[in-house]
């Protein structure tokens, strides 16, 4: 029986063998692997790119104090970007499942329509949720737009839910019972995380402070985006740090939301504020990465 980390090793190996750069996770709070610049920015522009990384993804509202067997404040996604998507992309994906020991002649696999959209990132794509014996194990998306920009090359994004996949393979009813290694369970490694962040996000996070932080990060991102437009030295302009501030805003929004501080319709407005920043960075990034014609 493969442990949690064995499965991660195997999947990384599998995708490395198919030309992927194996990246480490982004060291900021994100809600999904898509938000990491390795996806959000790399899918833009005409350069082919293949990358895979495990991204811890934080969703404050999903926290359950470590008490719910299937729901986590922070779960781990294996994010694979194949840009452009190869013609046999689904076959390659199915191969990865077989590589971790799932005999697909004995299991029920269905690709059910599930179009993905991230209003905060101005991004959307079409695709499926991959259902294995009734369990959603992967989100498969052909990106069409990112940061409000039509993509030059269409990437396939594969997002594996690692805890679910492992619980499935190890036949565990609770993610906390997953064997992370032969000696340590998922609970051993992560329970404190789940408990403490749930307490903070639901009970102790100071709403006024979070809003202040949101405004500060928003201001800094907006300031930088404004400066880029006027910048005479665009190639060295710090767009990546600008994007960090956008991600901070996104996470603060999620925390405020979990805290119950954002009403249903206020949401729309706040999402639009974050989206504006994300779109601003995306547009600047496309401009910055464009090979510039040298002056005659």
Partner 1 sequence: MSVDLLLEIGSEEIPDWMIPGALESFRALVSQALACDGVETPVIRADATCRRLVLQASGVYERQPDKAERLQGPAKSAPAAAVAGFAKKAGVAPEQLEITATAKGEYYSFLKQVPGRATKDLLAEALPGIVLKIPFPKTMYWTAKNGPRFIRPIRWIVALLGEDVIPFEIAGVKSGSVSNGHRRLGGSSIPVTTKDFEQKLRDNFVILSADARRKKIESEISASVKPDPGLLEVLVYLTEFPTPITGEFDKSYLDLPAEVLVTVMRHHQKNFSVLDANGKLANQFVAVMNIDADREGLVKRGNERVLRARFNDARFFWDQDQHKKLADRVADLASVTFQAKLGSYLAKTERVVQLTGTLGGDNFAQRAALLSKADLTTELVKEFTELQGVVGGLYARAQGEPEEVAAAIYDQYKPVSMEDSIPATTAGQILSIADKLDTLNGCFSVGLIPTGSKDPFALRRAAQGIVKILVEGKLRIPLRNFVSGDVEAFLLDRIRYYFRDVRGFKYDEINAILASGWDDLVDVEERLLAIQSVRSTPDFEPLAASFKRIQNILKQAHFEAHGRGIDPELIEHGPEADLHFAFVATRVEILTQNYSQALESIAALRPKVDLFFDKVLVNAPDERVRQNRLTLLHSLLAEFSTIADFSEIVTSS
**How far is the C-alpha of 144 from the C-alpha of 34, rounded, in Å?**
13
Cβ proximity of 224 and 241 under 8 Å: yes
How far apart CA 219 and CA 204 sit, in angstroms, is: 25
Tell me: does residue 187 bind partner 1 (CB under 8 A): no
Residue 204 binding partner 1, by CB under 8 A: no
Residue in 141, 100, 107 with CA at minimum distance from that of residue 11:
100
Residue 219 sits in the site that holds partner 1 (CB under 8 A)? no
Is 65 among the residues that bind partner 1 (CB under 8 A)? no
- Taking the complex as a whole, the smallest distance from the CB of residue 106 to partner 1 amounts, in Å, to 5
Of 28 and 90, CB closest to partner 1: 90
Q: Is 228 in the site for partner 1 (CB under 8 A)?
A: no
Nearest to 203 by CA among 157, 273, 261: 261
Bridge partners (DSSP) listed for residue 128:
113, 140
Residue 106 interacting with partner 1 (CB under 8 A): yes
Task: Report DSSP state, residue 137.
Answer: E
* 47 near partner 1, judged by CB under 8 A: no
* Cα distance between residue 201 and residue 147, in whole Å: 28
Identity of the residue, 40 or 237, whose beta carbon is nearer to partner 1 in the bound complex: 40
Q: Which stretch binds partner 1 (CB under 8 A): 134-142, 183-191, 214-222, 276-284?
A: 134-142
Q: What gap in Å lies between CA 157 and CA 97, rounded to an integer?
A: 16
On the CB side of 161, CA atoms within 13 Å amount to: 22
181 binds partner 1 (CB under 8 A): no
Task: Read off the tokens for 43.
Answer: 């899918």
For partner 1, which is the closer residue by CB, 103 or 233? 103
The one among 37, 69, 119, 148 contacting partner 1 by CB under 8 A: 69
Closest to partner 1 by CB, 68 or 196 = 68
Say if CB 97 and CB 111 are below 8 A apart.
no
Q: Which stretch binds partner 1 (CB under 8 A): 129-137, 177-185, 198-206, 219-227?
A: 129-137
| C-alpha 58 chain-centroid distance | 9
The residues pairing with 55 across neighbouring beta strands, listed in sequence order, are 77
Contacting residue, 173, 183, 203, 293, with partner 1 by CB under 8 A: 173
Among positions 243-272, residues that touch partner 1 (CB under 8 A) are 260, 263-266, 268-269
What's the rounded Cα separation, in Å, for the pair 163 and 137? Answer: 9
In this chain, which of 25, 65, 68, 216 binds partner 1, going by CB under 8 A? Answer: 68
Task: Look up residue 97 and give its two tokens.
Answer: 């499942």
Is residue 281 within 8 Å of residue 246, measured between CB atoms? yes
Lay out the site mask for partner 1 across 107-126 (x = CB under 8 A, - = otherwise). xxxxxxx-x---------xx
70 binds partner 1 (CB under 8 A): yes
Q: Which is nearer to partner 1, 94 or 195 (CB)?
A: 94
Positions in the binding site for partner 1 (CB under 8 A): 68-71, 84-85, 87, 90, 94, 104-113, 115, 125-126, 128, 132-135, 142, 144, 150-154, 168, 171, 173, 260, 263-266, 268-269
């Amino acid at each position: 029986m493969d442990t949690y980390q064995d499965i991660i090793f195997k999947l990384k190996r599998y995708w490395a063998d198919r030309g992927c750069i194996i990246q480490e996770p982004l060291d900021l709070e994100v809600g999904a692997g898509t938000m990491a610049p390795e996806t959000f920015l790399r899918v833009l522009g005409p350069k082919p790119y293949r990358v895979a990384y495990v991204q811890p993804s934080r969703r404050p509202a999903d926290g359950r104090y470590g008490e719910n067997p299937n729901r986590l404040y922070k779960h781990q996604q294996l994010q694979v970007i194949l840009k452009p998507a190869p013609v046999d992309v689904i076959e390659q994906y199915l191969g990865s499942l077989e590589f971790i020991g799932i005999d697909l002649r004995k299991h029920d696999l269905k690709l059910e329509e599930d179009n993905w959209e991230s209003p905060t990132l101005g991004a959307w794509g079409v695709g499926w949720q991959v259902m294995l014996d009734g369990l959603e194990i992967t989100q498969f998306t052909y990106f069409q737009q990112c940061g409000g920009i039509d993509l030059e090359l269409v990437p396939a994004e594969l997002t594996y839910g690692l805890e679910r996949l492992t619980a499935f393979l190890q036949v565990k009813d609770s993610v906390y019972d997953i064997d992370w290694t032969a000696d340590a369970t998922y609970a051993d490694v992560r329970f404190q995380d789940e408990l403490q962040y749930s307490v903070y996000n639901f009970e102790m996070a100071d709403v006024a402070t979070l809003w202040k932080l949101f405004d500060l990060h928003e201001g800094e991102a907006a300031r930088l985006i404004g400066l880029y437009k006027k910048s005479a030295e665009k190639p060295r302009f710090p767009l990546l740090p600008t994007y960090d501030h956008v991600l901070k805003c996104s996470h603060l929004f999620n925390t405020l939301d979990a805290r119950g501080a954002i009403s249903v319709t206020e949401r729309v407005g706040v999402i639009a504020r974050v989206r504006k920043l994300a779109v601003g960075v995306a547009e600047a990034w496309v401009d910055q990465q464009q090979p510039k014609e040298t002056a005659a």
